[in-house]
Amino acid sequence: MSDFSLVGDLLARERRSDRPALYAAELDRTYSYFDLCNTAYKAGNVLSHVGVREGDRVVVDPDPHPQPIFTFLGAALLGAVSEFDADPGRECDARAVVVPVEREGAFDLPGGSKLVAFGGDPDRPDTTHWEEEVWSENPAFPPTFHDPGDAVLRGRQQVGDDPRAYSHADLLAAARDAEDAVGIDADSRVAVRAPLSDARTVAAGVLAPLLAGGTIALPAEDAPLEATAAVVAGDGPVPETRVLNVADVPL
């Protein structure tokens, strides 16, 4: 499939393979396209079980871990609207809030909202354990029929900005531009060195490599990372020679 109109199209069953799709430096772990697609299906099913439906808001911690990436992709399959936000507020009213387990105590969500924790066992019985539920979930997802103009992500371009909504079509168009701008292809490994709270990072650092059949690379402070390109914010030095600043991503 080369004509992608929805974020979920990047997870089509025929795209599953042993090729690398995601590398997490902190874990020194590579996830294949088979792993990525299946785990996104599972994450979408778990979100559905906790009440997420088409058009609902899902807040996801923006730290560069695999679980937030899988959650965003799973939410896109459902037609939900993700927002990468490190501080959504203790009483955030999103349908689901997905955070590292060490942040569990920072939330007291209202009725109708569900807290999901990853990275360890939660303390509270009403908190959903991301890994436990995802790994035991069915690795299948029914075909999705959303409108490309529907919102799939809310994000900010600057600190202090109000978040705005971006559609499937918006993100995929920006991803194609990023793919062309730095020559991303199936052999590329793209380091995500800009915040996921910026929709331009998601388009260029997450969706562009998936469009090309390449690899998303999630850096960690103390772990080595080899990448062929990087998506950055600002002018700080990075080890990659091919660099795309989010300011140059048309979104």
Read off the pLDDT of residues 151-200 as tens digits, 9 standing for 90 and up: 999 998 877 778 899 999 999 999 999 999 999 999 999 999 999 999 99
Q: In this predicted structure, what is the pLDDT of residue 1?
A: 43
Read off the pLDDT of residues 113-160 as tens digits, 9 standing for 90 and up: 999 999 999 999 999 999 999 999 988 888 878 999 999 999 988 777
pTM, rounded to two decimals:
0.95
Can you tell me the distance from the alpha carbon of 97 to that of 74, in angstroms, rounded to the nearest whole number?
14
Q: In this predicted structure, what is the pLDDT of residue 61?
A: 96
Read off the pLDDT of residues 2-12 as tens digits, 9 standing for 90 and up: 589 999 999 99
Please report the domains of the chain, with CATH numbers, ordered by start residue.
7-248 (3.40.50.12780)
Can you tell me the distance from the alpha carbon of 62 to that of 199, in angstroms, rounded to the nearest whole number?
11
| Contact of 127 with 115, CB cutoff 8 Å | yes
**pLDDT at 83 > cutoff 50:** yes
